[in-house]
Amino acid sequence: MLIVGGTDSGRSEVAQAFHASSPLKLGALIRIDCAIDEGTLSEALQHWLTRAGRMDAANPLWPAERGTLYLESVDGLSPGSQQLLLAFVHRCSSLSPGDESGWLGRLAAGCDEDPWDLVAQGRFLAGLADGLDKIRVELNPRRQGGAA
């Protein structure tokens, strides 16, 4: 699920509603702000992709398994982190039913800017935009301050 526009808190509310209405609502909802915790996310993705053993509870992918992983500000990820996230999305989407070798959970991503606009600018991977943009929620843009 991709949540575009609005405010950070508005996108988080949509992600919480998405989680609460899902079949995995009894699992955890883990929120990662990519603008602040990109290093943590990249490390977690790298660890998962290389299958370097079971991750500890400090790694956000495991608590979100069988729940929802919400990535706020995904539009600000570096190209390297985008590549890791794309590999993660691709691997998770290619699992067959009943395959428990992958990460089992729901992924939601929030962003200020439309990833497709960033793709056109060469700042976001087209494959990642496509992988995240399966269910889209567009929120009203932030109101601009100033005189009317």
Q: Hey, how many other C-beta atoms are within 10 angstroms of the C-beta on 34?
A: 23
Mean of the per-residue pLDDT values for the chain? Answer: 86
Residue 120: pLDDT over 70: yes
Q: What is the pLDDT of residues 73-115, one digit of tens each?
A: 999 999 999 999 999 998 887 765 555 556 778 899 999 999 9
Q: What's residue 38's pLDDT?
A: 95
pTM value? 0.86
Q: What's residue 148's pLDDT?
A: 41
Q: What is the pLDDT of residues 52-69, one digit of tens each?
A: 555 555 677 888 888 999
Q: What's residue 145's pLDDT?
A: 46
Q: What's residue 146's pLDDT?
A: 43
